[in-house]
Amino acid sequence: MFRRIAGLLAVLCILLPGTRTQVAACTTIMAGRQATADGSVLMSSSCDGDRMGYIYLVPAREYASGERVAMSRNGRDVVGYLPPLERTYRCIILGHGALGGMNEHGVSIGIEYIPMRAGLASTNGLVSPYSNHWTTSLIANGLMRAKTAREAVRLIGAMVEQHGFLYTWAPLAGVALPIADRNEIWLLEIFGPEENWTPESGTPGGVWCAQRVRDDAVGVSANRSRIGRVDLENRDHFMASPNLFTLAKRLGFWNEKEPFVWSEVYGGAGSRGNVLREWRALSLAAPSKNLAATGNPNTDRYPFSVQPDRPVTVETLIDWMRDGYEGTDFDITAHPAFHVDGNKSPLARTSGPRELFDLLDIAPERTINTPASTYVFVAQARAGLPAGIGNQIWFAYGPAHTSCFVPIYPAVSELPASWVRPPNFARIDRRQVQWNFRLVSNLANQLRYQDVIQDVRQVIEPAEAAFRNAQRDVDIAALHVFQREGHTGLERFLTEYVHGCLTEVETAYRDLVDYLMFQYLYDRAAIAPAELPTIGRPVIPGPGEKSETSGP
């Protein structure tokens, strides 16, 4: 699985002006358990690489005592060895080479590319945020080997220190890894060790720092360093590599007579698109803060986290991931050029064909929602339930605003073949789930957006509400199955339930492409399908027996 990396270079959106790497790619929003309505730990994250997504299941594996696991970059070249393993854990993996996901214990990881100060990058590192072999992928190791978020932070940090950090496909960039579990969330940021570092130097192969999001707070990461002043005395909220201060002093990045601000010492200012997304996420969580935004990355700095005005839910995070700055000073659809005779044009949109914005002389903003998303997910981990029931991701192929979020449990034994098949990037294939999600998104963004998006919402909003409303009944039924049949029965139950949900969504999106093409592209509304497709309500399987996987 980890060798399938075609198109990975396009995941990055990297500009290299001046002495620091400017990166603009993804968005992650994190909510602690006391900040949520039901005590869940929630984390939403998008992978905005303008490519179709990929999801697959990695089963748990037992290792023989003393077995050495070789580390590889391409499945052949041995570049080192992992410490002795007893087992790895079952995971839902997102993206080629592991760009995120969730494991059976509820540990979930996202990814953010962040600017790194010049002089830190080394070409001698062996481990990368993601890789074409799991043994050299920091995210894969965190998911497959850690039972808690703290354990994942320490594990990944140790790999960086021992083997050296190198962002394989973006060697001048650092990385932020938001890591959550059933109890807490950490934001781990990693930068290079310095350009002359070698494995024989005897010094750590990178510099890293992790800060915990307060249990009663909401935090955001949007492609620039978010960690400010570091207090290593507060061990419950900070962890770091042993060279945190010494490397900065030796490279002349920091005068110890001055406060140590991690983002200023090792990171970069970022870009307008970074700061506006930070501002918007925190403002959505806590409007009462009245946070101001100018879009200037050199002046706009925001708190690491805020206490939300209202408890956060899965629905809340999905809504935020669909945000396009509507109703703010940065709402592009409010521009006069998008209004005719006082009415908003059906062509009004926050993103779309570059030629349209050039024609109207409008500069689009980089919003939280973007058509470049390969996938978006919301990780939900609930400590009050057995791990197999309480841990799930709400997954959507493609951009958040045109995609339906479906519940998937890491406890499943398999996923439908149509969902885990790698997408064909070179040829449109209507049999592939990713292509139908992509086509719905493209039809919305290339045609009469205001009209198309209303049709899309009529399909996805009732379905998502049905999935959320069914969660309590699924919990109760799953607990009964678990008590009677143990892990084997629970695995069967959840696998059948998830298959039914995914199959319903797959069928509806295939039909939705046809509907939108007839309605808006073929311009023959009279012969378009009579009604929009619907996603059938989720069907909860019965105990110890197979039931229908879809319903009317």
Render pLDDT for 53-80 as a digit per residue (tens, 0 to 9).
Answer: 889 999 999 999 878 899 998 766 788 8
Distance CA 313, CA 283 (A): 16
CA dihedral sign, ordered 113, 372, 300, 271: positive
Largest CA distance in the chain: 75
- Residue 303 predicted with pLDDT over 70: yes
Nearest in space to 412 (alpha carbons), one of 39, 3, 57: 57
Reported as a pLDDT band with limits 50, 70 and 90, residue 544 is: low
Backbone phi and psi for residue 356, each to the nearest 5 degrees, phi listed first: -65, -45
**Amino acid sitting at position 277:** R
CA distances, 449 to each of 95, 240, 333, 402, 535 (Å): 28, 46, 11, 11, 22
Q: Is the pLDDT of residue 2 over 70?
A: no
Q: How far apart are CA 284 and CA 220, in angstroms?
A: 11
pLDDT of residue 13: 34
pLDDT at residue 22, rounded to an integer: 37
Model confidence over 223-258: pLDDT tens digits? 999 999 999 999 999 999 999 999 999 999 999 999
Q: What is the mean pLDDT of residues 206-211?
A: 98
For the segment 301-313, the average pLDDT, to the nearest whole number, is: 98
The burial of 53, by beta-carbon neighbours within 10 Å (0-12 exposed, 13-18 middle, 19 or more buried), is given as buried
pLDDT of 1 over the 50 cut = no
Mean of pLDDT values over 529-541: 89
Residue pair 464/395 in contact (Cβ under 8 Å)? The answer is: no
CA distance 96 to 8: 7
Q: Hey, what amino acid is at 539?
A: V
pTM, entire model = 0.93
The encoded tokens of residue 319 equal 């809504």
Q: How far apart are CA 501 and CA 202, in angstroms?
A: 52
- pLDDT of residue 8 exceeding 70, the answer is no
Instruction: Check residue 21 and give its pLDDT.
Output: 36
Encoded amino acid at 366, one letter: R
In the predicted model, what is the mean pLDDT of the chain?
91
Classify residue 540 by its DSSP letter: P
Q: Is 394 helix (H, G, I), strand (E, B) or coil?
A: strand
Rounded to whole angstroms, how far apart are CA atoms 208 and 240? 6
Count of CB atoms within 10 A of residue 450's CB?
15
Highest mean pLDDT among 30-34, 71-75, 340-344: 30-34
What's the pLDDT score for residue 287? 98
Examine the pLDDT at 7 and tell me if it is beyond 70: no
317, containing H or E segment: helix 314-321
If you average pLDDT over residues 519-531, what whole number do you get?
A: 77
Percent of the chain topping pLDDT 70: 93
Give the C-alpha separation, 165 to 122, whole Å: 8
Give the pLDDT of residue 15.
Answer: 31
Maximum mean pLDDT: which of 7-11, 50-54, 63-67, 439-443: 439-443
Give the model's pLDDT for residue 535: 95
As to burial, measured by CB atoms within 10 angstroms (0-12 exposed, 13-18 middle, 19+ buried), residue 138 is buried
Q: Tell me: pLDDT of 19 over 90.
A: no
For residue range 461-513, what is the model confidence (pLDDT) as tens digits? Answer: 999 999 999 999 999 999 999 999 999 999 999 999 999 999 999 999 999 99
> Can you read off the two tokens belonging to residue 225?
């360093």
State the average pLDDT over residues 295-302: 96
Classified as helix, coil or strand, 328 is coil
Per-residue confidence at 168, pLDDT binned at 50, 70, 90?
confident
Stretch 111-125: mean pLDDT, rounded?
95
The mean per-residue pLDDT over the stretch 171-181 comes to 96
User: What does the alpha-carbon distance between residue 318 and residue 441 come to, in Å, rounded to a whole number?
Assistant: 17
pLDDT value of position 354 = 92
Q: Which of 309, 299, 310, 356 is nearest to 333 (CA)?
A: 356
**CA–CA separation, 313 vs 281, rounded Å?**
14
- Going by pLDDT thresholds of 50, 70 and 90, the confidence category of residue 425 is confident
Greater model confidence, 498 or 522: 498
Strands, E, within 192-299: which ranges? Answer: 207-213, 218-221, 238-240
b/e per residue, 275-290, with b = 16+ CB within 10 A?
Answer: bbbbbbbbbbbbeeee
pLDDT for 4: 37
Confidence of residue 399 (pLDDT cuts 50, 70, 90): very high
Give the position of tokens 């179709």.
52
Pairing of strands 343-344, 339-340: antiparallel
